[in-house]
């Protein structure tokens, strides 16, 4: 998979690759210096660590439903914010979460790559 031509398509591809446990597609979407702050613990993971937990099945996403998305563009940078409802398992233990998220995409000349991601749980 090649990088996407617009940020929302790239955002959709990221969530699709997570639910498909498709580390190859994720690898194409993530910038070399990608960093994620996870929604469950606030833990930081770099690109290699993130690809490992997704590719190995340590984390499995059964469903991710993004809503309320907004895109702000500044030159070759896009900030996508939104809300998700997700479910899956981590190390065999089921989870579900509602969150707000921020994704920072950078256009590297070949398409939009995800550079940073952060999720914040929503307390009901």
- Asked if residue 91 is part of any domain, the answer here is yes
Which residues on neighbouring strands pair with residue 119, listed in sequence order?
Answer: 101
User: For residue 2, is it within any domain?
Assistant: no
Provide the domain count of the chain: 1
pTM of the shown model:
0.91
pLDDT at 82 over 80: yes
Q: Residue 102 is part of a domain; what is its CATH number?
A: 3.10.450.50
Count the Cβ atoms, other than its own, within 10 Å of residue 108: 13
Number of residues assigned to the chain:
124
- 93 Cβ partners below 8 Å, 6+ apart? none
Domain hosting residue 110, numbered range: 7-121
- Say if 1 falls within a structural domain: no
Three-state secondary structure call for residue 116? strand
The model's pLDDT over 38-67, given as tens digits with 9 standing for 90+, comes to: 887 888 999 999 999 999 999 999 999 999
What is the per-residue pLDDT across 16-46, written as a single tens digit (0 to 9) for each?
A: 999 999 999 999 999 999 999 988 788 899 9
Is residue 50 one of the residues assigned to a domain?
A: yes
């Amino acid at each position: 998979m090649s990088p996407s031509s617009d940020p929302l398509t790239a955002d959709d591809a990221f969530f699709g690759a997570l639910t498909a446990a498709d580390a190859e597609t994720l690898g194409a979407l993530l910038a070399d210096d990608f960093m994620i702050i996870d929604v469950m613990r606030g833990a930081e993971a770099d690109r290699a660590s993130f690809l490992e937990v997704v590719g190995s099945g340590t984390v499995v996403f059964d469903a991710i439903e993004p809503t309320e998305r907004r895109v702000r563009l500044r030159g070759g940078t896009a900030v996508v914010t939104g809300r998700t409802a997700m479910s899956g398992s981590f190390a065999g233990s089921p989870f579900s979460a509602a969150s707000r998220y921020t994704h920072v995409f950078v256009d590297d000349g070949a398409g939009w790559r995800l550079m940073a991601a952060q999720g914040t749980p929503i307390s009901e």
